[in-house]
Structure 1
Amino acid sequence: MISQKVAQQSLRRLAVQQPYALRWSLMNSASPAAVALGRNIQTRQAATSSNSSDPSKILAQQRLVRPVSPHLTIYRPQITWIGSSIHRITGLMLSGGLYVYASAYLASPLLGWDLGSASAVAAFAALPVLAKVALKATMAMPFTYHCMNGVRHLIWDTGAGLTNAQVIKSGWTVVGLSTISALLLAFL
């Protein structure tokens, strides 16, 4: 048992030495016991500073000269992560709008508002044609994009279309189809 420990220690000490140390010890026929006792290990002087300044000041100075990570500024925007971000944003917009309208609709009798369908239709009919188209396009674009991108994700759940080329192609297809369908809904 002791001989195994001595051999392990000698091998560990040889492993951390410079590559030529093993050859040197073999050429001079150093025994494992000599290696285990550390008689042939090279040492170096530790670099110390006689400066007695505050270590936190030294650390603050070192932080000032460190390079800053470039983060997203070095990456070219890709349809994959832009599409994912827009999908989340449109989902938040659509669900947030639904919650705000539902809450206002429930509170409308207490506040004296009329948010029924007849008043909404009358208010929309009073708008100019350009405002109607713009409002419908503003409502249709997030809805159509989120729906079509959701279908894309459902297709991915089956395991189809997951190569890089297919993901890029389907991303641009979703953008094109959602734009066309939003314009069609806006001009109806």
Structure 2
Amino acid sequence: MAALLLRYAGRPCLRAHLSPRLCIRNAVPLGTTAKEEMEHFWNKNTNSNRPLSPHITIYSWSLPMAMSICHRASGIALSAGVSLFGLAALLLPGNFESHVELLKSLSLGPALIHTAKFALVSPLMYHTWNGIRHLTWDLGMGLKIPQLYQSGVVVLALTVLSSIGLAAM
């Protein structure tokens, strides 16, 4: 009931406020056209000598940024590798021993085998050590800029050393 009363009482008030005579009377001519506004905008940006894209000049590559990207890439590579290994175990004929014998029969040199093992284990080691680094950040430790760089170098050194150690097994 109250809604109907407001509707009928409000319509004449709304019509009075939106009459064409009221709109024309309060209309103000524009000072500039849209074309002039756009020219002013582009002239201002051109004269300020700022880059149009901040990603080109403002954001330079840093160690923490590169390590963050590599952490995500290693996570994707590890999940893809585990998925492919699982599919291969399901779909390929034979068992694990037969595949190991196949690799031994290829008579690959020790340098190639060591390099392949290093390439397989390094994403796992990097993701593990960098994950521990992220966990320390979650505890609120090591968040200052010098500490970010120090922990990044430590993660890279531990990755290389542990990958070499595991590849040597």
TM-score bracket for the superposition, by shorter chain length: 0.5 to 0.7
Unaligned regions of 5+ residues in structure 2, if any? 1-28
Give the greater-gyration-radius structure (CA): 1
- CA-atom RMSD in angstroms: 2.9
Structure-1 residue corresponding to 2:52: 68
Structure 1 vs Structure 2: percent identity of aligned residues?
33
Q: Matched residues in 2 for 1:186 and 1:101: separation?
A: 19
1:75 aligned counterpart, secondary structure = coil
Residues 48, 150 of structure 1: CA spacing in aligned structure 2 closer, same or farther, 3 A cutoff? closer
Partner of 1:102 in structure 2?
86
- Judged with a 3 Å threshold, the aligned counterparts in structure 2 of structure 1 residues 121 and 165 are, in CA distance, closer, same or farther, namely same
- Find out whether 1:175 has 2:148 as its counterpart: no
Q: How many angstroms does 1:141 deviate by?
A: 0.9
Cα pair distance change 1:168/1:117, threshold 3 Å: same
Give the whole-Å Cα distance in 2 for the aligned partners of 1:71 and 1:158: 31
Partners of 2:73 and 2:159 in 1: how far apart? Answer: 15
User: Within 1, Cα distance between the matches of 2:30 and 2:88?
Assistant: 75
- Please state whether the residue corresponding to 2:159 is helix, strand or coil: helix
Structure 1, unmatched stretches of 5+, are 1-43, 50-54
Match of 1:37 in 2: none
Once the two structures are TM-superposed, the CA of residue 123 in structure 1 deviates from its matched residue by 3.0
TM-score, structure 2 length as denominator?
A: 0.66
> Which residue of 2 is the match for residue 39 of structure 1?
none
What is the identity, as a one-letter code, of the residue corresponding to 1:133?
A: H
Task: Tell me which protein shows more helix as a share of its residues.
Answer: 2
Shift of 1:105: 1.5
Alignment match of 1:119 (pick from 95, 98, 102) = 98
Look up the match of 1:46: 31
How many correspondences in the alignment?
130
Residues 137-187 of structure 1: CA deviation (Å, up to 9, x unaligned): 101111110000111111112111111111111011101110111112222
